[in-house]
Amino acid sequence: MSDHEYTPKSKFGKWFNDRLPLLTLANHLTDYPTPKNLNYWWTFGGILTFCLITQIVTGLVLAMHYIAHADMAFDSVEHIMRDVNYGWLIRYIHANGASMFFLAVYIHIFRSLFYGSYKAPREIIWIIGIIIYLLMMAAAFMGYVLPWGQMSFWGATVITNLFSAIPLVGEGIVTWLWGGYSVDNPTLTRFFTLHYLIPFLILGLVVLHIWALHVPGNNNPVGIDVKKPSKDTVPFHPYIVIKDGFALLMFMIVFAFFVFYSPNILGHADNYIEADPLVTPAHIVPEWYLLPFYAILRSVPDKLLGVVAMLSAILILAALPWLDTSKIRSAVFRPLYKQFYWILVADVLILGYVGAMPAEGLYLLIARVATAYYFLHFLVVLPVLGLKERTLPVPLSITESVLGGSPNPAIAKNKESLNN
Amino acid sequence: MSDKKTNRRDFLFTATYAVGAVGVGATIWPMIDQMNPDASVKALASTEVDVSAVTPGKTITVLWRGKPVFIRRRTQEEIVEARSVKLEELKHPQTDQERAKDPEWLVMLGVCTHLGCVPLDQKGDYNGWFCPCHGSHYDTSGRIRKGPAPTNMEIPEYEFVNVNTIKIG
Amino acid sequence: MKNFLKLIFLIIIFIGFQNNSNTAEKVEYLKTDWSFKGLFGKFDRAALQRGYQVYTEVCSSCHSMKYLSYRNLAEKGGPEFSEAQTKAIAASFEVKDGPNADGDMFTRPGKLSDKFVMPYENVKAAQAANGGAYPPDMSVLVKARGGGVDYIYSLLQGYEDPPPGVTLDDGVYYNKYMYGNKIKMANQLSDGLVEYSDGTNATVEQMSKDVTTFLMWAAEPHLEARHQMGFKAIVYLIILTILVYFSMKRIWSRIETKV
């Protein structure tokens, strides 16, 4: 992995390293040459690692007290909230941690979209990222079922019923998922098992994600290839570590506000009512981070096609490296793409908004237009734009763009947006 | 000049590390404390037992904090035997008076102090209890006389609420 | 940096907006000043104690609170009745226990570790006694309703004669804050219904506020600890952030001035 051979200084270190090159790995990680112009949008990789570890640790703790049984799950959650030492704190961190995790992952994804980080030679990193994102959604959904409140129960019913849209075998698959004729105790116990498993799968994929990243190295705001190590790069430690640490702390302040001062604002009141198979809540809404996809699902008036549209909306991202035909990575040098990028951001936010609204009247119309635009962006705008767009001149090195003094006025002008 | 600068830098980094370490410690504590007995477990710490049906020479076993408690109404011979033992003979010297407030009633945790098994009543070389796991012999006061157990069987906190009721814990 | 903060800020507003929009179609609730809101919010002890009185004397004949124990009434951050008072409260309830040595169930006076005694054996019995409507368990009721404390507070004072054109079945009442306006619980509160031992005038408004405060504590018994810890945690994080910021500046100054 490393360009230079590393030899430990101590005799024991050398002996150990010859047998298990952990020290070489540690040395690679600390010395890893990172573009020095990375802005704060690049700190979300570190923040996401923190989120994953937080969820795993608090989740392990909760699993020590939680009882995965339809008759006892709700009670055991209340037991955690009331009697377990610091149980309320740990549960609120875990519940809000899921939201913070998604907040961070969306920023991470949209950063990648803006700076073209998914493009060659980083397609594998991107696709692993999409798989991680899918697993996160599965884990979040199953985790939301565990407290066995009304939203848990009905959310589980609605989402598992999506599979019934599959022709011929759909009903059989749903019964198999449930382990019965409705969402019930067998469903709860298997969801608990999978909810426990998935984070470790994610952890494994994160290792691959980082491994794949360390082969070509980081993209950067200018989007050009960086010779490494060179004067365009800095060692990961301490430069990037401290910068990630600073951003992480800012993020933790926001996190703490949610946990300590409005721990239930991101949840839904109905989930404090114990699951009742006889009564459906008036409004079934998924957690905020799934709303855009929920809106896409509901905007299609056909059951099967709705499910297909929703899944395609996620899977289309995996094809992005090939749909985007532009040779230039960073949106900084793509004036038109930049406009479309912000339209996409707005489009997704609109989808999220209408996803929370009743699927009727104007909301439905907006959802349909926004869904159509979402696909249009990836299937038409990106391929055409890459071929037609007149891009701005790209600097030859980071140092040139950072230090300015470039004879090219366009580059000097773009300095501002590069450095944020 | 340059010395001063180094010092200030050192101070900044040291302060950052120190403050960071405090935070890590404060974060770890809840993760550890959550495994301690919770509020509902602590609240169940006392139990009341009706002993009106226990005749001399009988033992009842009740559950307290998930462990057995032996409540034995001792016969005169047992009391005499327990009180005539010389302290020097004991591995863990304790008088019977210390162990039984009311000589007729012996209330103790029925847990062998060796590795936590439940000893058998009226067995062993000293007419008291015998632990079948690793062969510890206890006398009529529940004191260790022979075998690997290091100390006498523990006496929990208890009191007579009235003549027929003992409150343990 | 600035953009970064702006975006975080926007997203938080967006999330908050999302959440509010879920309950947007509801009527304006009555407002009152809750002592437990805000960064340093704490419960009003006297209100909690009065609220408990209202709950026991009025609500508890139909509504259970199955997640609360009598010991909770003495715990820090709650009504903080004294140990002796709490024991007396617990002992005033008959608790079913058993089986005894003969295999029979028996009743005994309550202990601190006992859960609040339930008015009905089970949900079915509660429904049968209340015209088919189950009086919901009140342990987490405040958190289980969209409007939270404001909703409960308003509902208790929201009974009115139905507007013309609205007909009500037997056992159904009109309440302007209830979802759909039809409620199966009759108006329970009237001025002077309970006699507060601290001499507070038991108006409907006062009782509504007290019992709602009590319900808020019941749903969130660690609220005070949470607020206190939250303040400390955030102050700590801000201090550490500042330290890390200057450390970062120092480290990056080795290669360039801008971070």
Sort out which chain A residues have CB atoms less than 8 A from B41's CB and list them. 83
pLDDT of C25 > 60? The answer is no
pTM, 2 dp? 0.90
Q: How many domains does chain A have?
A: 1
C-alpha pair distances (Å), A148 with each of A72, A311, B3: 9, 26, 63
Is residue A33 included in any domain, yes or no? yes
B34 touches chain A (CB under 8 A): yes
Sort out which chain A residues have CB atoms less than 8 A from B19's CB and list them. none
What is the predicted pLDDT for the residue at C6? Answer: 63
- Give the integer Cα–Cα distance in Å for A102 and A108: 9
C-alpha pair distances (Å), C70 with each of C81, C82, C83, C137, C203: 10, 12, 10, 16, 27
Reported ipTM: the value is 0.90
User: Counting every residue, how long is chain B?
Assistant: 169
- Burial environment of residue A210 by CB neighbours within 10 A (0 to 12, 13 to 18, 19 or more): middle
**pLDDT digit string (tens) for A232-253?**
899 999 999 999 999 999 999 9
Sort out which chain A residues have CB atoms less than 8 A from C143's CB and list them. 264, 269, 272
Confidence class for position A407, pLDDT limits 50, 70, 90:
very low
Is residue A66 included in any domain, yes or no? yes
Is residue A18 included in any domain, yes or no? yes
- Give the integer Cα–Cα distance in Å for A208 and A106: 20
pLDDT tens by residue, chain B, 169 residues: 345 555 666 899 999 999 999 999 999 999 999 999 999 888 877 787 888 889 999 999 998 888 999 999 999 999 999 999 888 889 999 999 999 989 999 999 999 999 999 999 988 899 899 999 999 999 999 999 999 999 999 999 999 988 888 989 8
Confidence class for position C234, pLDDT limits 50, 70, 90:
very high
Choose the closest CB to B38 out of A61, A83, A89: A83
Confidence class for position C7, pLDDT limits 50, 70, 90:
low
Is residue A142 included in any domain, yes or no? yes
Choose the closest CB to C250 out of B12, B26, B39: B12
Confidence class for position C3, pLDDT limits 50, 70, 90:
low
Mutate one of A60, A84, A91, A252 to test the B interface: name it (highest B CB count within 10 A): A84
Helix (H, G, I), strand (E, B) or coil at B22: helix
Is residue A6 included in any domain, yes or no? no
B147 φψ region: left (φ > 0), alpha (ψ -120 to 50), beta (else): left
| Mean pLDDT score across all residues of chain A | 92
| Mean pLDDT score across all residues of chain C | 89
pLDDT of A227 > 90? The answer is no
Sort out which chain A residues have CB atoms less than 8 A from B39's CB and list them. 82-85
Lowest mean pLDDT among A400-414, C57-71, C115-129: A400-414
CATH number of the structural domain spanning residue A108: 1.20.810.10
Inter-chain residue contact A40 with C4, CB threshold 8 Å: yes
Nearest CA in chain B to C237: B23
Is residue A3 included in any domain, yes or no? no
What is the predicted pLDDT for the residue at B161? Answer: 86
Shortest CA gap C14–chain A (Å): 9
A260 touches chain B (CB under 8 A): no
Nearest Cα to A352, choosing from A102, A123, A133, A168? A102
Is residue A4 included in any domain, yes or no? no
- Give the integer Cα–Cα distance in Å for A380 and A378: 6
Mutate one of B6, B16, B168 to test the C interface: name it (highest C CB count within 10 A): B16
What is the predicted pLDDT for the residue at C10? Answer: 64
Sort out which chain B residues have CB atoms less than 8 A from C71's CB and list them. 39, 43
Inter-chain residue contact C71 with B43, CB threshold 8 Å: yes
What is the predicted pLDDT for the residue at A409? Answer: 46
Mean pLDDT over A35-41 rounds to: 94
What is the predicted pLDDT for the residue at B43? Answer: 82
Confidence class for position A402, pLDDT limits 50, 70, 90:
low
pLDDT of C9 > 80? The answer is no
Confidence class for position C258, pLDDT limits 50, 70, 90:
low
B30 touches chain A (CB under 8 A): yes
pLDDT of C23 > 70? The answer is no
What is the predicted pLDDT for the residue at C16? Answer: 56
DSSP C209-222: HHHHHHHHHHH-TT
**Contact yes or no for A330/A116 (Cβ under 8 A):** yes
Which of A345-372 are b and which e, b meaning 16 or more Cβ less than 10 Å from the residue's Cβ?
A: eebbbbbbbbbbbeeeeebbebbbebbe
Mean pLDDT over C146-167 rounds to: 92
What is the predicted pLDDT for the residue at B44? Answer: 77
Prior bond to A409 cis, omega within 30?
A: no
Is residue A27 included in any domain, yes or no? yes
What is the predicted pLDDT for the residue at A2? Answer: 43
What is the predicted pLDDT for the residue at A412? Answer: 45
Nearest CA in chain C to B16: C243
Is B114 an annotated catalytic residue? no
What is the predicted pLDDT for the residue at B153? Answer: 95
What is the predicted pLDDT for the residue at C5? Answer: 60
Q: What are phi and psi of A121, to 5 degrees?
A: -100, 35
Mean pLDDT over A146-173 rounds to: 94
Inter-chain residue contact C236 with B12, CB threshold 8 Å: no
Mean pLDDT over A389-402 rounds to: 83
What is the predicted pLDDT for the residue at A419? Answer: 47
The two tokens of residue A101 are: 């995790």
**pLDDT digit string (tens) for A6-26?**
889 999 999 999 999 999 999
Range of the domain at A212: 11-419
